[in-house]
Amino acid sequence: MRLSNFAITKARPKEKPYKLSDGAGLHLLVEKSGSKLWRFRYRFAGRENMLTFGAYPTISLAEARAKREDARKQLAAGIDPSATRKQEKLGVTTTASNTFGAIVEELLARKEANEAAGSTLSKNRWLLQDLAAPLSKRPISEITAAEILQLLKRIETSGRRETARRLRGLIGSVFRYAIVTLRATNDPTLATHGALLAPKVQHRAAIIDEKELGGLLRAIDEYDGWPTVAAALKFMALTFARPGEVRCAMRKEFDLQKSVWRISEERTKMRRPHEVPLSRQALELLESIWSLSDYGGIVFPSIRSNRVPLSENAFNAALRRMGYTKEEMTAHGFRASASSILNTRGFNPDVIEAALAHQDENEMRRIYNRAKYWPERVKLMQDWADLLDYFRIPYSDQGAREAALAALRS
């Protein structure tokens, strides 16, 4: 006899679970607790098996019968409904692990395992997890080029053209990783090639006039803020190292006896070690602030703690306090100042490039130049430090300037 909703509603729990049959293998199991569960018994390949369809009334009588008929159709076609159910569950689990966000997590973990720079990882997380958040829960195989382009265009129209282009490249790297791990078959970012506007190139402001640079050096000498800020600015001018390399410089990186600063590959932009010859003036400056890092190891600690480096904004904030706008000078500008003035004065461009730690695409030439130009770089850094002392002398003090110039020429 087939079941009815009335009969199911009236069914009460007993001391032992019991079944209410609807025929053709479908029955309702009434538990001692009172819960009522739909079950379907069948035989496949000579073996008895069972499927559960859920609980009543969440699954109604009509829905349970529809599920039974679907299962019987599969059996008639020689398909085991239980195997189909397992495959569907696997598909749901696989889809959950193949979302864009999940694959981003995997890719970032791989980058971290491969010892990518902390700043690079932080930037990648911001781009892929924050800016690309609308894609996070989407199965990667379902994401379209139009969907990606819409996201990128929204960023582009906010004025962040370079950010949009970088995000496009990183999204492409996520898809390429998904392809090699067999979770995607194509990279839809390829279809967006040429769809974004070219970024507006904004060169970092720098003072390249010798007289004006001298004025800046005097302003730094007179700066009355936290002493390590002024010292770090001077050190940056002397070494033309990158601001991040100076901010996070550690005592252990310096060999004061050999007058060299060795920056590990983890801390350089080009991901290769860089050695900086230290001029007499650079060594004197380090000696003057060395005691400030007695217990922390950071050469230019912040005002908050000798175990914390100066903040990323400390240099530019000091320059603004001295009266220099962002259109006039930036922390990165010291590198451009040195490069421009030294090239103008006729110093060897290859030696200047080696001192700036610019990447040479030819690895053998890079290694060769690093060894070949070391003596020239030592001399260059001392010449540059002496030039900075010369620039620092006011034009009103002609006697001192002439004496300094004569010393330079000797």
Looking at residue 268, its amino acid is T
- At 226, list the tokens: 């936290």
Query: Which residue out of 32, 43, 204, 368 is catalytically annotated?
Result: 368
Q: Which residues pair with 41 in a beta bridge?
A: 50
Query: Which residue out of 153, 166, 269, 401 is catalytically annotated?
Result: 269
CB under 8 Å to 44, separation ≥6 — which residues?
Answer: 75, 80, 81, 82
Query: Which residue out of 36, 247, 335, 377 is catalytically annotated?
Result: 335
Query: Which residue out of 67, 332, 373, 377 is catalytically annotated?
Result: 332
Give the separation between CA 382 and CA 142, rounded to whole angstroms: 60
N- to C-terminal Cα separation, the chain = 116
Helix axes 374-392, 398-409, angle to 10 degrees: 170
- Sign for the CA dihedral angle at 101, 103, 105, 107 comes to negative
Residue found under tokens 């300037």: 401
Note if 373 is an active site residue: no
Give the separation between CA 153 and CA 159, rounded to whole angstroms: 10
- Cα-Cα-Cα-Cα torsion 164, 167, 172, 177, nearest 10 degrees, comes to 180
Note if 370 is an active site residue: no
Note if 368 is an active site residue: yes
**Is the distance from CB of 384 to CB of 351 less than 8 angstroms?**
no
**Is the distance from CB of 42 to CB of 71 less than 8 angstroms?**
yes
Query: Which residue out of 27, 65, 68, 242 is catalytically annotated?
Result: 242
**Is the distance from CB of 153 to CB of 131 less than 8 angstroms?**
no
Note if 269 is an active site residue: yes
Long-range contacts made by residues 141-148, C-beta under 8 angstroms, separation at least 24? Answer: 141/98, 141/183, 141/184, 141/185, 143/100, 143/188, 144/188, 145/188, 145/189, 145/190, 145/191, 145/192, 147/188, 148/188, 148/189, 148/192
Note if 258 is an active site residue: no
CB under 8 Å to 239, separation ≥6 — which residues?
Answer: 246, 261, 276, 278, 282, 381
- At 241, list the tokens: 């190292």
Q: Which residues pair with 40 in a beta bridge?
A: 26, 51
Query: Which residue out of 14, 86, 110, 358 is catalytically annotated?
Result: 358
Output the DSSP codes for 360-404.
Answer: -S-HHHHHHHHHHTHHHHHHHHHHHHHHHHHHHS-TT-HHHHHHH
Note if 27 is an active site residue: no
Instruction: Indicate which residues carry an active-site annotation.
Output: 242, 269, 332, 335, 358, 368
